[in-house]
Amino acid sequence: MKIFGHKPTASAWFGLVIVAVFVFLALFTPWLAPYGESANIGGTWDEPSADMWLGADQIGRDMLTRVMYGSRMTIGVALAITSLSFFIGIVLGFISAVLGGWVDLFFSRLVDVMLSIPGLIFALIILGVFGSSIPVLILTIAVLDSTRVFRLARALGMNLSVMEYVEAARLRGEGLWWVISREILPNARAPLVSEFGLRFCFNFLFIAGLSFLGLGIQPPYADLGGMVRENAAAINFGMMAPIYPAATIALLTVSVNLVVDWMLSIDARPSGAPAEL
């Protein structure tokens, strides 16, 4: 079976399967979870049993249910952040590359200023002032992440904007949006798709890190980073409660990276080289 015209490697297949499982669970968690997201059904850090396969958390909620809902929430927020950051970064990056001049100078210097501020510190300041609601969280991290996307999109746009087919479109009198959407974007799709996977992993880990610090996704919503923080004391008693959300974070991150590595190997293959057998 081929994907994007190429046969995935064994590691890529592993990543694709795991990512597909996470997507399936994220879509159908309300119907697949054994209990409600906030239902208290046991004691503090109860051991795994037939009723609770992964045991209970610090206030007696089913850990399997919490991991499923936490994965759904963290993946959904990370996907929203990455999508918004790519929209902002790609549009502004391509506009800067095509128009050049003072437009390019303005956006490039603005991005340089934002990149000079450590992202975690900037996010902590904004979230500390405006709160950690999900819309504020998405918008804040998306704006910060869009600076990296802008740099990539601008570099790709500058290389593509001097190609003959782009010059031909300009000579035909095509407008800015037509040139970007019909000529530049399709030819920059491969590296942008690969970068999307990398930025998703970064945002996924960034959200988990903020939640671990108490400034990410707030209760009553389940979140993987917050679950690690809430159940961290269980380690002192030899219990596995914080290991489950931490392992979920690691598994999804590794799986997405395996898929991205395969896609990057496709992009790096010389023109005319045969696909892997």
What CA–CA distance (Å, rounded) separates 251 from 53?
19
Whether the Cβ atoms of residue 68 and residue 37 lie closer than 8 Å to each other? no
Residue pLDDT, tens place only, 48-79: 888 889 988 888 899 999 999 999 999 999 99
The model's pTM = 0.89
Report d(CA 191, CA 149) in Å as an integer.
Answer: 11
Domains of the chain, CATH where assigned: 10-30+62-268 (1.10.3720.10)
As a whole number of Å, the end-to-end CA separation of the chain is 10
pLDDT digits (tens, 9 = 90+) for 94-112: 999 988 889 999 999 999 9
Strand partners, 3: 6
Cα separation, 123 vs 144, in Å, equals 8
